[in-house]
Amino acid sequence: MRGMVGRACTAGLVIGVLVTGLTACTGDAGGDENGKGRKSGKAEAKACADGTFAWSRVTKRDRLTGVSDPEWLGEGGGSLQNRMRRVYTPRPSVRADGPAPSPAEILFSFGKKTGDIDSDARTLAEVDGETWAFTDIRLPAPGLDDGRVTPHAAGEFVQYAGVREVSADFRYTCPDGRTVSGHARNWTVDISGLTDCDERPDSALAREVARHACP
């Protein structure tokens, strides 16, 4: 699987859901006055196969996923022992207000829009032999202690983890003019970081860390 997850080290998305809103119709096959012999059928509306996506309101935001308690290290630094606690679990999510393509197909289009998927294929169904983690609606959140950082100086340090979350609205238009609107969210970069409680936070993520962990 080609991964969309990167890792960045800095100093300082309910598993989503399916495409909702499928409509149903019922038919009356006739019957007597007591309803005997009456038959009914249900037909789910289906998404068209040759529609096009238009994306808008694309946003990218670094989200804090885990943070440790502060830990003092003397001169020369050393290994941090405090484990991180989770404060947010990113999960891919797709929702729509009517019949739409599969979540994987929607995330494929979204990944091409954000640059997280590099493919000349028009749809995921047209891709031959290549996969991307970005299209996996069940993609698990990254582990909190996968990228621990070792400081080499004295100070009161906090280890933290995060992701870069991307979200956007979409409109899917069928050849016959029918449209479906929706929203998609996913995460990309896996961030590991370290901040010193005695220093001024230099990013929005570091400021959030300070609010959670520093005295």
Q: Is the pLDDT of residue 202 over 60?
A: yes
1 burial (CB, 10 Å; 0-12 / 13-18 / 19+) is exposed
114-168: pLDDT as tens digits: 999 999 999 998 998 889 999 999 999 998 876 677 888 888 889 999 999 999 9
Residue 161: per-residue pLDDT: 93
Residues 105 and 87: beta-carbon distance below 8 Å: no
116-129: pLDDT as tens digits: 999 999 999 899 88
Residue listed under structure tokens 């609205």: 169
22-69: pLDDT as tens digits: 223 233 334 444 444 444 444 467 888 889 999 999 999 999 999 999
Q: Give the global pTM.
A: 0.74
Residue 182: per-residue pLDDT: 98
Residues 13 and 94: beta-carbon distance below 8 Å: no
User: Residue 84 — pLDDT band, cuts 50, 70, 90?
Assistant: very high
